Amino acid sequence: MDLGIVAGRTATRRALHRVRTHGDTPARQAAAFGLGTFIGCSPAFGFHLPLCLFSGWLFGLNSLKMYLGANVSNPFVAPFLLFAEVQIGRCLRAGAPYPLSVEAFRAVTLWHFGADLVIGSLLVGAILGTAVASTTYALVRRWGTTEAVSRVFGGAVDRYVESGMFAWESANGKLRLDPVYREVLRHGLLPDNGTLIDLGCGRGLMLALLASARARWQEGTWPDEWPAPPTRLLLRGIDLRPRIAADAGRALAGAAVVAHGDVRRFDLPAARVVLLFDVLHMLPYDDQDALLVRIAGALEPGGSLILREADAASGWRFRAIHVGNWLKGLFEGDPGRRFCFRSCDEWVERLEHLGLIVRVVPPARRPFVPNVLIEARRGS
């Protein structure tokens, strides 16, 4: 393919990413959605988009999010919204709403109707805009990220721009929504040097995040609330699926080495840390135990295994995971695929039996998905 076309596509994807993620702090997101809702309540139909673009430029807010907020006046809501605005405006101007009769409607002048609509839209827009802004701020503060944290994740996601829009959006959603990536960095679970091996790495999202963390630390934009990231780790990954491994290799060129292979037969070298995220339940129980034995033997003194799996003892939340995995297998043409889960206590017992010092890492908040993150360290 022509290099100019490839460069153009990459530039377009990056531009779309900037438009979508510009102004991602909680206050700016709240302001964007709140002001957009206020604009959407105005009777300036046909001009909501230009108003959002201008206001976004004027106040440095995300125009796309403003326009999403402005869609409060969609065809299903607009009639009720206009009725409420006119009636509220009439109450403020004349002390009483319009009577609901044909005679009253015929007696209304265009000037009075327009004045009532403008007055009512200002009040309704201010109330709804404030409510939307407050709700957005609360949600983003609870589930969102600071600007520095967002920059760390953005640097990782950018590595997938050239792989296509699907790979890019998939990486963005997985990295930002799955708490395991954040928890590993937030708890400072990784050493600063040595070899890290990500078994079953998929597209290499954790490796990409570590590469981005290293870059953010070096440029001085690392989140103040997090411990220092590892900056001298040698990053390696392996995945069973050749196409996925190749995608990861392209995205991580210059930052990590990704190989295609089966984790059960992979020649596991000495490692300072091994990552094993959502892999073991794909293997039969005997293969799980055999792999854990090999990993324990490959860990250097003081080295650790970071394991993430679903807790089979978590009741209905685990049953929901089981249904989701079955649906995934059905979609991929393998409805009979067998998954071998264990409870958190069973994982801890097996790891301790191998002589490892085990700790269950507490999550920042109780997740809907019943996953557990376990650190199993070899003694010095």
**pLDDT tens, residue by residue, 172-189:** 778 877 889 989 999 999
Question: Residue 358 has what pLDDT?
Answer: 96
Q: Which residue has the higher pLDDT, 299 or 63?
A: 299
In a domain, 336, yes or no: yes
Pair (112, 230) in one structural domain? no
Question: Residue 24 has what pLDDT?
Answer: 64
* 367 has pLDDT over 80: no
Q: Across the chain, what does the average pLDDT equal?
A: 86
CB 311 within 8 A of CB 370: yes
The position carrying tokens 């200002």 is 122
The percent of the chain in helix, strand and coil, each rounded to the nearest 5, is 60, 15, 30
Q: Which residue has the higher pLDDT, 23 or 55?
A: 55
* 6 has pLDDT over 50: no
Residue that is last in its domain, among 99, 115, 143:
143
What 3-state class would DSSP assign to 225? coil
Question: Residue 1 has what pLDDT?
Answer: 46
- Give the model's confidence band at 332: pLDDT under 50 very low, under 70 low, under 90 confident, else very high: low
In a domain, 132, yes or no: yes
Question: Residue 326 has what pLDDT?
Answer: 72
Pair (286, 165) in one structural domain? yes
In a domain, 365, yes or no: yes
The β-bridge partners of 236 are 197, 257
**pLDDT tens, residue by residue, 43-89:** 988 899 999 989 988 888 888 888 888 998 888 888 899 999 999 99
Q: Characterize 29-53 residue by residue with b for buried, 16 or more Cβ atoms within 10 angstroms of its Cβ, and e for exposed.
A: bbbbbbbbbbbbbbbeeeebeebbe
Per-residue tokens: 369: 């998905």
Residue that is last in its domain, among 121, 143, 165:
143
Of the candidate ranges 172-176, 274-278, 343-347, the one whose mean pLDDT is the lowest: 172-176
Pair (127, 196) in one structural domain? no
Question: Residue 298 has what pLDDT?
Answer: 95
CB 167 within 8 A of CB 175: no
Question: Residue 317 has what pLDDT?
Answer: 79
In a domain, 323, yes or no: yes
- Give the model's confidence band at 216: pLDDT under 50 very low, under 70 low, under 90 confident, else very high: very high
Pair (176, 310) in one structural domain? yes
For the chain, what percent of residues have pLDDT higher than 90?
A: 51
Pair (326, 367) in one structural domain? yes
In a domain, 4, yes or no: no
The helices-and-strands tally (H runs, E runs) of the chain is 15, 7
Count of structural domains within the chain: 2
Question: Residue 214 has what pLDDT?
Answer: 95
pTM for the model stands at 0.69
Whole-Å CA distances, 238 to 56, 198, 324, 339, 359: 44, 6, 25, 21, 25
* 167 has pLDDT over 90: no
Pair (221, 356) in one structural domain? yes
Question: Residue 21 has what pLDDT?
Answer: 52
For the chain, what percent of residues have pLDDT higher than 70?
A: 88
Mean pLDDT of 261-274: 93
Mean pLDDT of 345-355: 96
Pair (37, 63) in one structural domain? yes
**pLDDT tens, residue by residue, 83-112:** 999 999 999 988 888 888 777 777 778 888
We report the CATH number of the domain holding residue 333 as 3.40.50.150
Pair (253, 293) in one structural domain? yes
- Of the candidates 94, 92, 97, the one whose C-alpha atom is nearest the C-alpha of residue 119 is 92
Pair (283, 160) in one structural domain? yes
**pLDDT tens, residue by residue, 114-166:** 899 999 999 999 999 999 999 888 776 665 567 788 889 889 988 988 777 67
In a domain, 10, yes or no: no
Question: Residue 15 has what pLDDT?
Answer: 53
What 3-state class would DSSP assign to 376? strand
Pair (201, 139) in one structural domain? no
Pair (366, 221) in one structural domain? yes
Question: Residue 17 has what pLDDT?
Answer: 53
- Of the candidates 149, 324, 327, the one whose C-alpha atom is nearest the C-alpha of residue 222 is 149
The position carrying tokens 């000495």 is 270
The position carrying tokens 């570590």 is 210
Residue that is last in its domain, among 119, 143, 167:
143
Question: Which residues form the domain of 178?
Answer: 147-377
In a domain, 17, yes or no: no
Whole-Å CA distances, 214 to 48, 228, 234, 260: 42, 9, 12, 25
Pair (292, 162) in one structural domain? yes
